[in-house]
Structure 1
Amino acid sequence: MMHPIRSFKALTQQAQRAVALGVVLAMIASVCLVRLGVIQLVEGAHTAQAATQSRTVKVTLDAKRGRILDTNGVVLAQSVERYTIIGNPEAAQDFTPLDCTPRTKDYCQQLDGKPLKTTGVAAVAQLLAPLLGMSAAEIGGKLAGTGQYAVLKKDVTPEVKRKISALHLGGIVYGELSDERVYSNGTLMGVFLGGVNDEGKGVAGVEQLEDRTLTGTDGYEIYQQGNGGEQIPGTMTESKNAVNGSDVQLTIDRDVQWRVEQILKQSQDTYKAGWGIAVVQNVKTGQIVALADTDTVEAGSDDAKLNVARAVNQTFEPGSIGKVFTMSGVIQEGLHTMGDKFTVPGTITIDGQKYKDSFDHGDEHWTMAGILEQSSNVGTILAAENLSDDKRYEYLTKFGLGQPTGLGLPGESQGLLAQAAQWDGRTRNTILFGQGYTVNALQLTNAVSVIANNGVRKPQTIIKSVTGADGKVHETEVGESTRVIDESVSKQLLNAMESVSEHYASKGFAGVDGYRVAAKSGTAEVAGDDGKLSSLISDYSAIIPADNPQFVVTVVLKDPEGNYGGLTAGPVFAEIGKFLMQKYEVPNSQPRKDAIPVEW
């Protein structure tokens, strides 16, 4: 039996150990309580703030790009609602489809009415493949990686996006709102309209020319999102609405453009031409009604983004159309009138340089109007004999040749016109009949418009107006017009050009029944692919109606069978002119009674 004193000591030691343990536990509890208090009272706010920040996102609200319209308000280009479908690879790899039962029918997954036999990425890919028009293997490859963001497909329609939402794959697959640029008329004005890059920036054609106007200002929203990327209701703290880009209305009439392109393509086949260009300009306003060529390119395509419209950058020698500008200078300087008489031989030699007409003839008795009608190179040299080189250059520049049109179109080539001091002994005379310098079709059209507009050169325009997101319409400001020649001089040229048109119409070419036309044809040798003068440019520029000018039409063909502008480009003009008179219901012309004699 244990001694009572020893028993008491043992109990005392156990009590001491228990007290010590209790003290230790109490201290631990106190530390925990203090730490809990710190967490709740001190760090709690920081922790909650960090959690909120991790869920808070700033989402960009994309501004829609403005539309491009024709002169009548027909939409040529617009941005439509599209979605970029995004997948979460990590969530997809953990996906287990939910079987459809009466209880789960509103949020289950199945394929063709049957339960899925796979899980993870394979199951997600099987569900998406028929909706995205992609193979399950392709989708699976994009979802097999790491991370939480993978682009599955761009430019998906709202209808497809709704079908994807009906798969109940929240947190795994969702759509981000975007825009797709759509061109409703296919190849019509394809290169001229141009296109936008992947960032929605205009990189060619009108899209580039008016990029700043068409581009809107993005907005944003700041809110908290759930694990599936969805917005948590009531958590939006800041937002700014997007402002869409402005609409740009062109001066181009889509119906005229379509018909002109159609006529050009038919003519290219008829005359076996390498290419064709046509420009239609409103005389009174300077507005471009049609700007066409035979290149067939889809608007918005890669080709449209990489190229420039031929009507804008193709340059060529105008040939005998240049005689119009020479004779304008001759008359304006008081050297001759259109009724002055000349004896014109078939050839002429000046300073050792021989010049000839396009057809053989002896001495002819032509007035200056007759020289223009017959398109005589020799006669033009005789008429301009006393027009100095500086004046020859001055009038070409006054008509707008050798300088930009002012339209600002991307890729425009202004042609080449050397200063008079750089001309050699031959060039100073070939300049008189449209050889030795180059122009584009827009320049040539506006130059001829000077004759139609009583001697005044109006600035050309291609943009009619801009309509802002607020609906306000801003008409394009047109620059100042410039007088090039006196009205009386322009009337003499118009009269003689009408004789040119009658000359071709009498042979069955280039006439428009019921309407008087003033025109000039041109034919010029140009360098071919071999670098030699082995190619031809045939062009024809006409004013219709001659007695009440409404339009100037220029047609240019490369290497057509038939060669001469009046016999090839002239009939193409006739088809275009006929359409214009019908479409715009222009009254028939009155009979001509004041023709300047062409012979004496």
Structure 2
Amino acid sequence: MSSSRDRRPRDPRRPGATSRSGSRPNKRPQREPRRPDGGTRSGGTGRTGAARSGARDVRKARSARASAPPPPPPLLRRTFRRGDPKKRLKITGVLIVVIMVLFAGRLTQIQGFDAEEYAAAASELRLQTIDVPTLRGQITDAGGNPFALSVEVRTVFVDPEDIDPDERDRVVSELTERFDLEADEVAAKVDAAPSRYQVVTDGVRPEDWYEFRDLGLSGVGAEVDYERVYPDETGAADLVGFVGAEGHGLEGLEGYLDETLAGEAGKRQVEVANDGTQIPMAGGLVREPEPGQDVRLTLDRDIQWHTAQTLAEQVEALDAEGGSAIVTRPDGEVLAMADYPTYSQDDVGETTAEDWSNGAVAETFEPGSTNKVITVGSALEEGATTPESVFTVPYSLQYYDQTFRNAENNGTQRLTVNGIMAQSSNVGTIKVADEVGAQNLHTYMDAFGLGQPTGLDLPGEETGVLTDPDDWWGTQLPSVSIGHGLSVNAAQMASVYATIANGGERVDPTVIAGTVDPEGEFTAAEERESTRVLSEDTADELALMLEAVTSDEGTAPQARIDGYRVAGKTGTANRINPETGTYDDGGYTATFAGFAPADDPEIVVQVVLHNPQSAYYGGEAAGPVFNDIMSFALKSERVPPTDEDPPNIRLLEDEG
């Protein structure tokens, strides 16, 4: 037996537990378990079916609890202990003081030490730099007469914020009436607040602006601008060209010389409003504009005008597709360069790029008989013939598989080289070319400037075609010798005749005499290259032959000018039909080139008519144009008449 103190008192909540005093409590009588239907168990000591079912449920529950996963461990909770609130307040206060000190220091730096720098930076954000227009240089003739000039105009604008409401209606009315504007459009700009800058109109003449300014109306201002002007009827549109809306050259000399003419725009700062509009009054001038230089041409305004008019009349009279005419001095200085059809520089929007083309350099053609001077000149220079050399010249000549004929059937003749040139004999020229040879003939054509740039440096220039003699086929030599099988532009052929008139020395042609700076100082253009092509003796001999062309026995007596000895050459060439690539139905090119006075040349004229209909031979179609232009140029240049009559030269073998 164990002592009573070794016994652990039983939990009174458990069956059979004892009280703390050690006595056993009284048992409660056990009740019969109730059935679900309200009855009690019965029947001796055995278990009923309900009891057995309950036992099975208990076992199932225990089995389920045994197979279920163990429950997760309880979450660990971290506990914080609150610090001393006074300490927290002290730390917060220190942090606030530190931050305030930093802000105060930065503010002192910005408003004190760096105030100017930040103010300038802020100002730069509102300012923009814009171009200030400058005066574009003039294009003038040799005497200073303008072909193109810029005039000062005004761009009128309004500042809607600055317009006095009491003056609003009058501002709209005055702007509308004085500058011929639409009232609704003006009113919309006047009422465009908060905008500070609205352009009302441009191109206003200064005197018209001054009259408006004197009205003293508020909110209206004007800026200086420049407008390009082309005097009427100069006949030089294709050469001079025009500028675009931005004031830069687009075509002709305006485009080619743009860097010289344009000058350098100034710079101005303007304030930009919140809506992005500029406020011109708010900025300062950063850089003064520098005016462009004037370009002085070699052209003569009067000769240019007359050349253009004469050419246009003949193109219209003969219903030709077009034409070109060039007037030069023997040293290559161009006095006139005209093309037709042409256009008006004041109405460029109604024209096309084809209209702007300068046909004098951009359109190529076969030169025909005007090329014969090179063939004969090379023979004389090489010593293959003399002016008096005689050739048997039939009406036609079989050369390989091709037959060449003269323009007129004069039967078989014994012609001198003088006579071959005067009558423009195809067969005779071919015989002379045989004496020269393909390589020599090509060398002289190259030296005269065919198949290469003229040196004018004009936009759109075409160099023409001159094939290498190694590529010539059987009939190429005779074809080229009479001006077929190659192509040239009008300026190239004018240079050929200028070379002969200049004693055989070729000088690159030019239209530019020099420049004039804003102070009025003239600077001559660079010296041009020159090449000795023929000797002076050969050039003089050719001049006499060309003078015979304008005699009664020659092909162009209509080119003669009373009082002057005239040398020249006709040309009539077939044109290629662009649709077939052959000469069939391609029409003709009529040309005439020459100089006067023949004994002391001063003026050279080249005329080209493309596909004339009423008359197409060079003498009858282009000869009269040559005569008219040459006569006017001689008078304009005050060239004295010739004192001596031309010497007699022998054209036929049997002439004494």
Superposition TM-score tier, normalisation by shorter sequence: 0.7 to 0.9
Greater CA drift, 242-251 or 556-565? 556-565
Matched, 1:402 2:443: no
2:332 pairs with one of 276, 283, 286: 286
- Separation in 1, partners of 2:255, 2:112: 59
Matched, 1:342 2:412: no
2:621 is matched with which residue? Answer: 568
2:321 is matched with which residue? Answer: 274
Query: Would you say the 8 A contact 1:225–1:231 is kept in 2?
Result: no
1:156 pairs with one of 204, 216, 235: 204
SS at match of 1:466: strand
Q: Deviations over 1:204-262 (max 9, x none)?
A: 11101211111112223558899994647xx95x6432211001000000000111112
The offset of 1:499, in angstroms, is 0.6
SS at match of 1:482: strand
Aligned length: 539
Counterparts of residues 200-599 of structure 1 (less than 5 Å)? 200-221=247-268, 229=279, 231=281, 239-283=286-330, 285-299=331-345, 301-302=347-348, 306=353, 307-503=356-552, 509-528=558-577, 530-531=579-580, 532-533=582-583, 534=585, 535-560=587-612, 561-592=614-645, 594-599=647-652
Amino acid at match of 1:197: G
Q: 1:141 to 1:450 in 2, by over 3 A?
A: same
SS at match of 1:524: strand
1:181 is matched with which residue? Answer: 228
Amino acid at match of 2:362: N
Q: 1:277 to 1:49 in 2, by over 3 A?
A: closer
Superposition RMSD in Å:
3.1
The offset of 1:59, in angstroms, is 5.6
Query: Would you say the 8 A contact 1:81–1:158 is kept in 2?
Result: yes
- Separation in 2, partners of 1:183, 1:442: 24
Q: Which of 1 and 2 has higher RCO (CA within 8 Å, sep 6+)?
A: 1
Q: What is the percentage of aligned positions where both structures have the same residue?
A: 33
Q: 1:573 to 1:230 in 2, by over 3 A?
A: closer
Amino acid at match of 1:437: L
- Separation in 2, partners of 1:148, 1:261: 50
The offset of 1:169, in angstroms, is 5.1
2:165 is matched with which residue? Answer: 97
- Separation in 1, partners of 2:555, 2:482: 24
The offset of 1:167, in angstroms, is 5.4
The offset of 1:62, in angstroms, is 2.3
1:74 is matched with which residue? Answer: 145
Query: Would you say the 8 A contact 2:550–2:557 is kept in 1?
Result: no
- Separation in 1, partners of 2:236, 2:153: 24
The offset of 1:164, in angstroms, is 4.4
Query: Would you say the 8 A contact 1:195–1:305 is kept in 2?
Result: no
- Separation in 2, partners of 1:446, 1:425: 29
Amino acid at match of 1:253: D
Q: Deviations over 1:346-390 (max 9, x none)?
A: 111122221111122311111011011111111111112132222
Amino acid at match of 1:154: D
- Separation in 1, partners of 2:429, 2:440: 15
Greater CA drift, 369-378 or 293-302? 293-302
Query: Would you say the 8 A contact 1:189–1:299 is kept in 2?
Result: no
The offset of 1:48, in angstroms, is 6.2
Q: 1:547 to 1:51 in 2, by over 3 A?
A: same
- Separation in 2, partners of 1:71, 1:222: 40
Amino acid at match of 2:260: T
Counterparts of residues 15-94 of structure 1 (less than 5 Å)? 58=129, 60-88=131-159, 91=161
The offset of 1:489, in angstroms, is 1.3
Q: 1:44 to 1:329 in 2, by over 3 A?
A: closer
Amino acid at match of 2:592: Y
Q: Deviations over 1:300-351 (max 9, x none)?
A: 5426783221212111111001110011111111111111011110111122
The offset of 1:159, in angstroms, is 2.8
Greater CA drift, 162-171 or 415-424? 162-171
Q: 1:489 to 1:199 in 2, by over 3 A?
A: same
- Separation in 2, partners of 1:595, 1:543: 19
Q: Deviations over 1:152-199 (max 9, x none)?
A: 32322223333443455544x432221111112345211211111122
- Separation in 2, partners of 1:550, 1:492: 17
Amino acid at match of 2:308: E
Q: 1:373 to 1:157 in 2, by over 3 A?
A: same
Q: Deviations over 1:92-118 (max 9, x none)?
A: 8xx5632xxxxxxxxx5664xxxxxxx
- Separation in 1, partners of 2:151, 2:182: 26
Amino acid at match of 2:332: G
The offset of 1:84, in angstroms, is 2.3
- Separation in 2, partners of 1:287, 1:431: 28
Query: Would you say the 8 A contact 1:186–1:299 is kept in 2?
Result: no
- Separation in 1, partners of 2:296, 2:460: 21
Query: Would you say the 8 A contact 1:187–1:299 is kept in 2?
Result: no
Query: Would you say the 8 A contact 1:203–1:305 is kept in 2?
Result: no
Q: Deviations over 1:536-588 (max 9, x none)?
A: 10000011010111111011112332211011211111111211222222222
> How high is the TM-score relative to the length of structure 2?
0.76
SS at match of 1:430: helix
Q: Deviations over 1:278-321 (max 9, x none)?
A: 110111x3200000122231135426783221212111111001
Query: Would you say the 8 A contact 1:510–1:571 is kept in 2?
Result: yes
Q: 1:497 to 1:40 in 2, by over 3 A?
A: closer
The offset of 1:91, in angstroms, is 3.1
> How high is the TM-score relative to the length of structure 1?
0.82
1:191 is matched with which residue? Answer: 238
Amino acid at match of 2:541: Q
Indicate the structure (1 or 2) with the bigger Cα radius of gyration.
2
- Separation in 2, partners of 1:305, 1:58: 36
Query: Would you say the 8 A contact 1:77–1:184 is kept in 2?
Result: yes
SS at match of 2:404: strand
